[in-house]
Structure 1
Amino acid sequence: MVATTLEAPAGRAGTRGDRTPGPRRSNYMARTYPLWYYIPAAVLFLVFFVVPTFASFFFSLTRWTLFDWEFIGFANYRQFFAEPQLIGSLSNTVVYAALTSGAKVVLGMGLGLLLTSQIRARGLLRSLVFFPVLVSTIGVGIMFTTMMHPTDGLLNGALAIVGIEGPKWLANPHLALLSVALVDVWKGVGIATVIYMGGITAIPVEYYEAAKVDGSSSWNSFRHITMPLARPATFTVITLSLIGGLRSFDLIWAMTKGGPGFASDVIASVIYKQYQAGFYGLSTAGNVILFLVVMVIVVPLNYFMSKAEVDR
């Protein structure tokens, strides 16, 4: 039996070992290497959020066009708060966001309870509830504008059959914003329902079984089990609905264009109108005000909801 011995060449004996990093270099790479993964997201965040945000703050203090600008301080903000229709749009924005978010919370929880129960055709009903979310917002706006026509609309036609004179949904200054809010709820409640379905199905069944053994009614089980344990879903629906309501534009513009008059104008529609009229500085100031309104409402609300969740 012949034994063969393989030996590394003399000049290359320590080559592989020399390339192994020492303990200090290894620890440094372990700490810093994952940081490289943040760079693409950080660049995108800087380019598409930080820079435009600070640019908006700056240009809101100017009178600008595409080729020139003039610094005028807070004149745009003074003009914004001095014009009644602009202040009216601010109040409309808050009312619209409150109406739509409140309705989505109530209807979303109700539909979530229904669609997680043992009912027939549950899958079909889930699809029907979520279907409006998939439809184009502009398409929904055009469809409901036709349906809400005061004389030829489907809604008033159906009411006329039973002898009821239908209202002028979008032509009445007192009903226009409410009418658009109802359409917004119809279109967006599917998202709230899906969130609630996820929250409700995550609740252990044993809690309900124990409550049933103790003689608890369905209402008490909902009140003491479902509502507290579905609180994260409620917080999520409130936050998303408020942000969406405060920033809403496309549905309102498709249905009323802020009318009749300024009855359904929100900050976003006013901003668009100012851009159309060439008042770029004033519209940029409106953008900043909208950003601040969203931050002032959503950030404290999110803080208190998170604190309540931790303390629960």
Structure 2
Amino acid sequence: MTEVSATISSPPRKTRADAGRPGRRDRRRRSPYPNWFYLPAAVVYAVLFLVPTLLSFYFSLTRWTIFSSEFIGLDNFAQFFSEPALTKGFINTFVYAVVTSGAKVVLGMALGILLTSQIVGRGYLRSVVFFPVLVSTVGVGITFQVLMNPQKGVINHALSVFGVDQIGWLTNPSLALFSVALVDIWKGVGLATVIYMAGIVSIPNEYREAAKVDGAGAWSTFRNIILPLSWPATSTVVTLSLIGGLRSFDLIWAMTKGGPGFTSDVIASVIYKQYQAGFYGLSTAGNVILFIAVTAIVIPLTRFLSKKEVEM
């Protein structure tokens, strides 16, 4: 009996033929093929992102044309921050991003709660809210440029019925940037609403029923259940809206081209104008500044939102 148990418990001996033959697990571990699967994606990423980014950092330190370049150090960056028009575009970028992203978060959550409740025509209203997201940004900009015309625009004609004088939505230096921001909010709030709807629908119904049994009202249910449990949706909307606001160009260019003057310029439109004027090194420095600004804001913000999500 002892010999049988010893035979069963002892591991099988490796023969000389098995010694030179690796096991199946070892072959799988040493196989080079899975690592090679990363190569196509790595090549595409390097060609389309890493190489252009490194070249941009270099050419931002030069005065260059298509055929030649001259190394000038940090002169382009010094010039960028010394000219008021360029600095104005830098400030406008952050104002525009904060206004649009903040409004999308608030309106997106409000519409998300409304469109997940039991209201009449809920499916139709969802389509209406999301429709602007599907429309071309340039088309939206041209359309609202006509609607906001001070003399012939439909918006001013409608406001004149209530005794409101003609408003220079896109011609008043103090209103132009915020007018474009309103259009951006109108166009982008549909996506924020859909994200919030997905987050609210994923909340288990037992929480609401328990709150109702405890006598919690609508505000208490929102503050203690919907707001904390939909935090992943809030995190996503904040990140996407802020990145989109910092990189915004097409809507601003279609509606105002940065005008009147430089009052509605953002970094992207400043970069485009410098390219048009032939200041390639200065415009490349603007690209680098935009890249650094977006990275410096988005990475800490994403970590903060993720940490809050875990705490909640």
TM-score using structure 2 length: 0.91
CA contact under 8 A between 1:258 and 1:266: conserved in structure 2?
yes
User: Matches of 1:188 and 1:276 in 2, distance apart?
Assistant: 29
In the other structure, the counterpart of 2:167 is: 167
Deviation of the 1:34 alpha carbon: 2.6
In the other structure, the counterpart of 1:56 is: 56
Residues 36-85 of structure 1 show CA distances to partners (whole Å, capped at 9, x for unaligned) of: 32222111111101000000000000111111111111110111011011
Residues 93-136 of structure 1 show CA distances to partners (whole Å, capped at 9, x for unaligned) of: 00000000000000000010011111111111111111001100
User: Matches of 1:166 and 1:97 in 2, distance apart?
Assistant: 27
Q: Give me the identity figure in percent.
A: 66
In the other structure, the counterpart of 2:195 is: 195
Please give the residue correspondences for 1:213-252 in structure 2 after superposition, counting only pairs within 5 Å: 213-252=213-252
The letter for the 2-side match of 1:52 is P
Deviation of the 1:29 alpha carbon: 4.6
Deviation of the 1:28 alpha carbon: 4.4
In the other structure, the counterpart of 1:276 is: 276
In the other structure, the counterpart of 2:112 is: 112
2:174 aligned counterpart, secondary structure: coil
Deviation of the 1:21 alpha carbon: 6.5
User: Matches of 2:126 and 2:139 in 1, distance apart?
Assistant: 22
The letter for the 2-side match of 1:126 is R
Q: Which runs of 5+ in 2 are unaligned?
A: 1-16
User: Matches of 1:95 and 1:26 in 2, distance apart?
Assistant: 57
In the other structure, the counterpart of 2:11 is: none
Please give the residue correspondences for 1:266-305 in structure 2 after superposition, counting only pairs within 5 Å: 266-305=266-305
User: Matches of 2:120 and 2:180 in 1, distance apart?
Assistant: 32
CA contact under 8 A between 1:149 and 1:169: conserved in structure 2?
yes
The letter for the 2-side match of 1:131 is F
CA contact under 8 A between 1:200 and 1:230: conserved in structure 2?
yes
User: Matches of 2:188 and 2:33 in 1, distance apart?
Assistant: 42
2:63 aligned counterpart, secondary structure: strand
1:63 aligned counterpart, secondary structure: strand
In the other structure, the counterpart of 2:34 is: 34
Deviation of the 1:247 alpha carbon: 0.3
The letter for the 1-side match of 2:219 is W
In the other structure, the counterpart of 1:127 is: 127
Deviation of the 1:166 alpha carbon: 3.3
Deviation of the 1:22 alpha carbon: 2.6
* Distance change >3 Å, CA 224–CA 25, structure 1 → 2: closer
User: Matches of 2:27 and 2:165 in 1, distance apart?
Assistant: 78
In the other structure, the counterpart of 1:6 is: none
Please give the residue correspondences for 1:17-96 in structure 2 after superposition, counting only pairs within 5 Å: 22-23=22-23, 26-29=26-29, 32-96=32-96
The letter for the 1-side match of 2:229 is L
The letter for the 2-side match of 1:63 is R
* Distance change >3 Å, CA 66–CA 160, structure 1 → 2: same
* Distance change >3 Å, CA 83–CA 123, structure 1 → 2: same
1:303 aligned counterpart, secondary structure: helix
1:66 aligned counterpart, secondary structure: coil
Q: Does 2:155 match 1:155?
A: yes
1:197 aligned counterpart, secondary structure: helix
Q: Which runs of 5+ in 1 are unaligned?
A: 1-16
TM-score using structure 1 length: 0.91
Output the aligned Cα RMSD: 1.7
User: Matches of 2:30 and 2:130 in 1, distance apart?
Assistant: 45
1:168 aligned counterpart, secondary structure: coil
CA contact under 8 A between 1:155 and 1:166: conserved in structure 2?
no
Residues 207-241 of structure 1 show CA distances to partners (whole Å, capped at 9, x for unaligned) of: 00010011110110000000000001001100000
User: Matches of 2:277 and 2:81 in 1, distance apart?
Assistant: 18
2:37 aligned counterpart, secondary structure: helix
Q: Does 2:291 match 1:310?
A: no
Residues 246-300 of structure 1 show CA distances to partners (whole Å, capped at 9, x for unaligned) of: 0000000000000001100000000000000000000000000000110111111
